[in-house]
Amino acid sequence: MSTDEAMTKALLPDSQLPTHWYNIVADLPEPMPPHLHPGTKEPVTLDDLTVIFPPALAEQELSTQRFIDIPDEVRQIYSIWRPTPLIRARRLERELGTSARIYYKYEGVSPIGSHKTNSSVAQAYFNHEAGVRRLTTETGAGQWGSALAFACSAFGMGCEVWQVRASYDSKPYRRMLMETFGATVHSSPSELTQAGRTMREQFPDTTGSLGMAVSEAIEAALTDPENARYSLGSVLNHVVLHQTVIGEETLKQLAMFGEDQADLVFGCAGGGSNVAGLSFPLIRENLAGTTTTKVYAVEPSACPSITQGRYEYDHGDVVGMTPLMKMYTLGTDFVPPPVHAGGLRYHGMSPLLSHVIQLGLAQGLAVEQADAFEAGVLFARAEGLVPAPEASHAVAAALAEARRRTSDADACSIVIGMSGHGQLDLPAYQEYLNGTML
């Protein structure tokens, strides 16, 4: 293995933008347990799903096809920022005194600063194609909400976002970003839905949860079936599917660096779409016998779905409007402490990623919040990039591994899923630096 010692980052031209999304379902040794209808408990059908999603997305959710074409119009919007760079963190390596070669796949160059636009643009496109005029959604820290707000503005659609109250109150910048794109934003739980009003009555002091916000957004879509559909930013199969462009690009870029494979991959896991999008194309190569990449889904100790949750059928929302999905879950009534990594506060985990972990093709890892911010600050001072707090969890896990590798014999390649930058999460860094973090 000889790596290019002069290169800092691998860029791909527009012409190398992936032409398809990769559906790992086609290659898994065992089929995934089906989503179940919340009423009948029977496997959901296309018809069930088209109540809240447009036909194309419902088909993707149930598809077993290996590759799914990315429409030209979606690729054209992707091409504003994609392919994203794979960057070697040479200064960080030196700082750590590690023999590991550390790369990060940087999704922060997207319009909103995170990977979420990979799915929002696709979802807005397929909804627009189906004649939908308005999308409703939930958001935590606001990455997904701003991604969908941009995508809706690109297709001339309305966008209504329920944002978890903890983030709505502490992270006003992403709300402003959503509003700059023309979206309407509500603090969740809100008074606008039956689900929200019930929550507020039962838990007047709640700081909200993604599960609550999902219930509100679904209810809002269901009550305007003529115009509105619901859109989810993680967890579901079709969302994970859209994110696989990350991993497809990474494979090509590792080769540009002269790497045969990523030995270790660390991605943060909230709903699971970032680490799944990065790793699934790499796991395909493992399954084909060409690589031996180890994949770690890194979650916060405060919301440890994979490492402390149960693998069982559960709802994706609090009220029970979503299908039952077999996944790692802490239970829909789990309300995490207001950790700053708002994107990692979800009670469940992508059923597809959960299944992949069950099959032993990836594994979970929990990181303490303070360790994540410590790693984030170290990374920022070495590389200039302040990682999103979500991504800092992956950074912390990668750094712990890199620190253990100091000799040439220990050398390996590490890829970090840098899901986004943390410039809108600076108050959390401030609290960490001031020692006032909860």
Out of 135, 265, 366, 386, name the contact with a second copy by CB under 8 A. 386
- Compute φ and ψ for 52, nearest 5 degrees: -110, -20
Is position 169 an interface residue for a second copy (rule: CB under 8 A)? no
Out of 38, 158, 182, 258, name the contact with a second copy by CB under 8 A. 182
Q: Are strands 363-367 and 294-300 parallel, antiparallel or unpaired?
A: parallel
Is position 412 an interface residue for a second copy (rule: CB under 8 A)? no
Q: Which stretch binds a second copy (CB under 8 A): 54-62, 86-94, 210-218, 271-279?
A: 86-94
Please say which residue, 186 or 326, places its beta carbon nearer to a second copy.
186
Please say which residue, 88 or 326, places its beta carbon nearer to a second copy.
88
Out of 64, 292, 308, 430, name the contact with a second copy by CB under 8 A. 430
Q: Are strands 158-164 and 184-188 parallel, antiparallel or unpaired?
A: parallel
User: Is 311 within 8 Å of 304 (Cβ atoms)?
Assistant: no
Out of 41, 66, 310, 381, name the contact with a second copy by CB under 8 A. 381
The CB-of-247 to a second copy minimum distance in angstroms stands at 20
Return the structure tokens found at 35.
């989503």
Is position 184 an interface residue for a second copy (rule: CB under 8 A)? no
Out of 45, 180, 223, 227, name the contact with a second copy by CB under 8 A. 180
Q: Which stretch binds a second copy (CB under 8 A): 4-12, 160-168, 208-216, 361-369?
A: 4-12
Please say which residue, 87 or 264, places its beta carbon nearer to a second copy.
87
Is position 7 an interface residue for a second copy (rule: CB under 8 A)? yes
**Alpha-carbon torsion (140, 143, 144, 146), positive or negative:** positive
Angular region, 187: left φ>0, alpha ψ -120 to 50, beta rest: beta
| SS3 readout for 25-46 | HHHCCCCCCCCECCCCCCECCH
Q: Are strands 20-22 and 67-69 parallel, antiparallel or unpaired?
A: antiparallel
Please give the C-alpha separations between residue 365 and each of 139, 169, 179, 330, 362, in angstroms, as whole numbers: 24, 29, 36, 15, 10
Out of 58, 102, 352, 424, name the contact with a second copy by CB under 8 A. 424
Q: Which residues lie closer than 8 Å to 173 by C-beta, 6 or more apart? A: 142, 424
From the CB of residue 265, how many other CB atoms can be counted at a distance below 10 Å?
Answer: 28
Is position 19 an interface residue for a second copy (rule: CB under 8 A)? no
Query: What are the residues binding a second copy (CB under 8 A)?
Result: 6-9, 11-15, 76-77, 79-81, 87, 90-91, 109-113, 117, 150, 153-154, 172-173, 176-177, 179-182, 377, 380-386, 423-424, 426-427, 429-430, 433
